[in-house]
Amino acid sequence: MLDAGADNTVNYRDTYTAVVQTCGPAVPAPKPKEPPPSRAACHDLAAAMVDEIENDQMETSSFSAARNNFAEICAPRPPSP
C-alpha cells in the first residue's frame, strides 16, 4: 500500500490502526507528528517491523521501537477528495 501510494485509503487506515494499536508490548504508541516528516522512509520502516515479526521479536522493545517509528512518520494521509 505504501509503495502504491495507497496510504490514504480506508484499508490502509484500518491496517495502520490494527498494527499500531494492537501489535507488540502494551505501551502507548506515539501520536503522528504534525506536520508529518517526509514519508520517504515509510517503506523501510514498514520493512523493519516485518523483519522484527519474522524474527519472532514481536514482544520485545525492539519491535516497539520499530512500530513507534512507523507510527510517528507513516500515519494515514487524509482521504483524496
pLDDT of residue 22: 79
Decide if 18 is inside a domain. Answer: yes
Decide if 56 is inside a domain. Answer: yes
Question: Which residue, among 55, 70, 65, has the nearest Cα to 25 in the 3D structure?
Answer: 65
pLDDT of residue 5: 85
Mean pLDDT score, 65-74: 89
Decide if 81 is inside a domain. Answer: no
User: What is the model's pTM?
Assistant: 0.76
pLDDT of residue 78: 83
Decide if 80 is inside a domain. Answer: no
pLDDT of residue 2: 86
Tell me how many domains the chain contains: 1
Q: How many other CB atoms are found less than 10 A from the CB of residue 75?
A: 20
pLDDT digits (tens, 9 = 90+) for 12-56: 999 988 888 878 776 666 676 676 667 888 999 999 999 999 999
Domain that holds residue 15: 10-24+31-73
